[in-house]
Amino acid sequence: MTAPATKTLQATLAPPTAHKEHRLQRTVATYRRALSEAFDSGADTQSAVNDIVTPYNLTGHAKNALKSYVPKLRKTYNAEELDDGHPVRFTNQGWRLDHSEDRTHEFCWRVPQAGRGNAFWIPLRINPAQESLWADLLDGDV
């Protein structure tokens, strides 16, 4: 039996339209407020974090990521404070990717947003050294 391997795929967002940029900034700001409130409260269980992040206008994928991550910050990473540039985390259940060789940026990511039907697509610039891994992801081979 072969042991599973983990590989982090790298991509950056292609420059979004002004409207998408505004929505991305709003999501990041809301996420960071929820993260900060949960961390500053000392919440150390998923249930305690849930009580704090529930009112925030975030997707369930972002809230679930926070519920998992915030308790780890102190228990696993021994964090005493948060980094100001903390990235937004989503669970992988909402992950959607599209691919077309007809586009300048062949890969697009469906950005989850709070509310029904509010998600949007944004082009990705993939790491060229990982092109075969991205293809394997699309093919379902990984």
Contacts of 31 (CB under 8 A, 6+ apart): 56, 58, 62, 66, 88, 89
Question: How confident is the model over 18-68, as pLDDT tens digits?
Answer: 999 999 999 999 999 999 999 999 999 999 999 999 999 999 999 999 999
Residue 1: is its pLDDT beyond 70? no
* 34-43, 84-93, 102-111, 124-133: range with lowest mean pLDDT: 84-93
Which of 9-13, 44-48, 78-82 reaches the highest mean pLDDT?
44-48
CA–CA distance, 48 with 45 (Å, rounded to integer): 5
